[in-house]
Chains A and B, each alone.
Chain A
Amino acid sequence: MNFNSIHYLIFFPAVVLGYFIIPSKLKNIFLLISSYYFYMCWMPQYALLIFFSTVCTYFAGYLIEKESKVISKKIFLGINIVINIGILFIFKYFNFFTSSLQSIFNILNIHIYLSDLHTTFLLPAGISFYTFQALGYSIDVYRKDIKHEKNFINYALFVSFFPQLVAGPIERSKNLLPQFSTDHKFSYDNAVIGLRRILFGMFKKVAIADTIAIYVNCVFNNITNFTGLTLLIAIFLFAVQIYCDFSGYSDIAIGSAKVLGFNLMDNFKTPYFAVSISEFWSRWHISLSTWFKDYVYIPLGGNKKGFKRKLINLFIVFLISGLWHGASWTFVIWGALHGIYRIAEELYRHSVKPLDFRYSLFNRLKYVFKVISTFAMVCFGWIFFRANTINDAFYIVKNCFQNINLLQGVYDAYDIISSSVMKSYSFVLLYIISVIFFVLTLFIIELRQNRKIQNPNQDTIYDKLKVSTRWFIYWGLSIIIIFCFIIQNGIFGQTGQFIYFRF
């Protein structure tokens, strides 16, 4: 089930009502059934995979805690990791692995044919997310960070809790598991905070990301038809699209959980205002970045084994992170690129003393320069992330600064929108105005949030607003969301799929 569907619009209020009406003892069972129903609406048989992963990690946790010998604990943990990563490998990476191997065989003129081994499985939605969450739990038990959860229902709910099941945030057992042992009573304040977050999440996803996607998809899917400004706009807009798509999903997930009384971790903190790539990764998909830090980077030795080893560890983590995002060389290159960025950054920091100006104006300019240059580097990375093939990515790199012509850009934009959606002057005009308006609105909201991050005592946007203004904003956002939803359904027969559902 998608968050941006009529189905969820009925499902979620029904779950909330049910959850707060039924007796406390049954609440978690009810949530568990709801979560499985949520997942099974997409492909019922794949719920078995979640159940299998849940059972494996549950018993692994039990055995690891019960066993007193370290070697036995290690064996149980190892088996658990192999099983879970094995499932992930079969469903997500097997075809990529065999086709890559086949390419190597072809180059080496080895006559082994692996094409018959190709599987036809559909990628189970959210498999990378719940696998990592469940693995995190067993590693936490192994490290004695938490105790094994004895209540299987609570644990199964931890793995399959519907708001964050298919695209995170990848929760930590320490944060989420104890919340299933608490009796959550209905709170009006929680409901308001949660619903507000859902509304903003929907706005980001349905209004901004899916609207922008029309332009971006057309350019990236017909890449050789375009050069110059059109490519640059598409790269910039994809950066906005993927942020709104994924952070929108996280907002809906966090908001949905909040209405039910659960607190999920923040997944984004105005990442495009980061002043370095390392800061970007502490603000972008935080739950994944910290997962890799805690469960890969630190076990590899982190920064404790010398500077060179630290750089190698960083590169390995980013390479794996790239592969985690998708079974394709474009993602591997994207991950490697970020690894190289981080290494370059570490080398720079290691060898150059940071500039500090006397005048605050210069410091501000330095800040702006850093933000822009970090954003530019991230955008460069998005080329590889979004491109359909490596050749496409290199075509963009080669041609995005060729034939920069404003008129051509406007002409292309008109052509793209009218051919992708509808031949209507008024629609194309509204589309262009909307995209500019949405991007500016997003920029202003992000700017305020960024200030709030830097100064946590500052009021949130809402605290200062009158009730009537708040209601007006909710009204306006709802109208825009519904209208965009109807357009997407009317033209394309469906609303946009979340990009991170594929991961």
Chain B
Amino acid sequence: MKKLLSRSFIFIFIILLTFLLLFLFTTVGLGAQFQESYNYVINNKYNYLITEKEPKIIIISGSSGAFGINAKQIEDGVGYKCANISLHADFGMKFQTEISKGNISKDDIVVISYEIVHWNNSHYSAELIMTAIDNNIQLYKYVPTEEYVDIIRYFPTYLFKKLDLAMKPKSKEQNGVYRSSAFDENGNMIMERLECKLNEVVDKEIYGEIVMNDQVVSEEMINYVNEFNDYVNSKGATLLISFPPMLDEAVTSSKDDIAKFQAYLEENIDAPIISNPNDYILEREYFYDTIYHLNSKGEKLRSDILIRDINNYLNQHIN
């Protein structure tokens, strides 16, 4: 039996090693193949985060942060450097949040402003995560363990996608905001979004709706954020909770329910809630193409509101 077991272990080790090599070949060996995509911007954001030495504000959310934060404005308004690592809700909020662990240092301020729906689900897309990470293999350490199975399942598709891209001549870059060149080298959006592209009627079948009450927050996310708060505090930094910009026409909750939502978070989250959701419910003139994506005008307004909230907190608690 011992002979069989020892040989089996050796065999399993060789098999695992083979797959590790195949994985390395796919991610690193085939090079960056998705670098022109919107998702790839996460690498710029991450690189900026890990190289920034000064105390900084790290902003975590989905794409509402990519479209709704002006980093320069935040830096000027608060006096901290700003690493806005928000990019895509389909990465899953856990992955988006875990990336921040790349460089949370003493006196940093970490602001979570998840899109409301992500307080209640742990949705993620292995495809988006893998194509975003591309050849930057070190980002895999931030993928939550419960997502490993899906990462493995998606691996063959990822391999063939990369092979296809590696073999065919690169096509010309697409126009529009959903591409890496719409962002600067630090991962901040630089493309002007002047107009509102929303349909005249905001159909919830197309755009979805925003519901806030004391039922929309899951225990899983509460626990996760509280654990993250402990981690942030252990690094000598501060975690703050804020809210994303929300299109008023898409918010279907009453004032009472919104108050209940905020009260529920305040009661259950260990980190301070620095904002009022009502302040972030804005008119359509500030929005670009979805109920969470701001245009340039909206980005400026939202950044101002966030600066005000952060400064209020800092004035009361730190300065």
Chain A residues with a Cβ under 8 A of chain B: 20, 186, 188, 191-192, 422, 424-427, 430, 471, 474-475, 478-479, 482-483, 486-487, 489-491
Task: List, in ascending order, chain B residues with CB within 8 A of A424's CB.
Answer: 157, 160-161, 163-164
Q: Is the CB of B152 within 8 A of A475?
A: no
**By the criterion CB–CB under 8 Å, are B153 and A489 in contact?**
yes
Which residues from B are CB-within-8-Å of A487?
A: 156-157
The answer to whether A482 touches B19, judged by C-beta atoms less than 8 angstroms apart, is: yes
Question: Contact at B152–A486, with CB atoms within 8 Å?
Answer: yes
| CB–CB B157/A491 < 8 A | yes
Q: Complex formed: what's the CA distance from A188 to B2 in Å?
A: 9
B18 touches A490 (CB 8 A): no
Report whether A490 and B153 are in contact in the complex, using a CB–CB cutoff of 8 Å: yes
Q: List CB contacts (< 8 Å) of B148-190 with chain A.
A: 152-157, 160-161, 163-164, 167-168
A483 CA to B23 CA, complexed, in Å:
12
**When chains A and B are docked, how far (Å) is the Cα of A105 from the Cα of B230?**
75
Task: Name the interface residues of B4-33: CB closer than 8 Å to any CB of A.
Answer: 4, 11, 14-15, 18-19
Chain A residue with Cβ nearest B166: A426
Contacting pair B157 A490 (CB below 8 A): yes
Shortest Cβ distance from A259 into B: residue: B4
Q: Which of A186, A471, A475, A483 contacts B156 (CB 8 A)?
A: A483
- If the complex has contacts A486-B156, A487-B156, A490-B155, are A475 and B1 also in contact, measured as CB distance less than 8 A? no
| Known contacts A20-B1, A188-B3, A482-B19: A490-B156 contact under CB 8 Å | yes
Contact B157 A191 (CB under 8 A): no
Distance from A75 Cβ to chain B, minimum over Cβ atoms (Å)? 50
Would A479 and B18 be within 8 Å (CB), given that A188-B3, A486-B152 are in contact? Answer: yes
- CB neighbours (8 Å) of A430 from chain B are 160
Interface SS of chain B: helix, strand, loop or mixed? helix
Cα-based distance from A188 to B19 in the complex (angstroms): 28
CA A487 – CA B154 in complex, angstroms? 8
CB distance from B34 to the nearest CB of A (A): 15
- Do most interface residues of chain A lie in helix, strand or loop, or is the interface mixed? helix
Inter-chain contacts of A186 with B (CB < 8 A) = 1
Cβ-defined contact, A422 with B160, below 8 A: yes
Inter-chain contact B161/A475, CB cutoff 8 Å: no
Q: Which of A422, A474, A482 contacts B11 (CB 8 A)?
A: A474
Q: How far does the alpha carbon of A422 sit from the alpha carbon of B161 in the complex, in Å?
A: 9
Assess whether B155 is in contact with A486, with CB atoms less than 8 Å apart: yes
Closest-by-CB residue of B relative to A20 is B1
CB contact between A479 and one of B3, B4, B15 (< 8 Å): that residue: B15
Within 107-143 of B, Cβ neighbours of A (below 8 Å) are at none
Closest Cβ of chain A to B311, distance in Å, is 48
- 24 example contacts (A-B, Cβ-Cβ < 8 A) are as follows A188-B1, A188-B4, A192-B4, A422-B157, A424-B157, A424-B163, A425-B167, A425-B168, A430-B160, A471-B11, A475-B11, A475-B14, A475-B15, A478-B15, A479-B19, A482-B15, A486-B152, A486-B155, A486-B156, A487-B156, A487-B157, A489-B153, A490-B152, A490-B155
CA distance A478 to B153 in the complex (A): 17
Enumerate chain A residues within 8 angstroms of B167, measured Cβ to Cβ: 425-426
Shortest CB-to-CB span from A371 to chain B, Å, is: 37
Ranked 7 nearest A-B pairs via Cβ: A490-B153, A426-B163, A424-B160, A427-B160, A487-B156, A426-B160, A191-B4
Q: Nearest-CB distance from A195 to chain B (Å)? A: 8
Question: CA of A337 to CA of B154 in the docked complex: distance in angstroms?
Answer: 44
Cα of A487 to Cα of B160 in the assembled complex, Å: 11
* A residues near B11, Cβ cutoff 8 Å: 471, 474-475, 478
Q: Which residue of B lies closest to A431 (CB)?
A: B160
Q: How long is the Cα–Cα vector from A376 to B22 in the complex, in angstroms?
A: 41
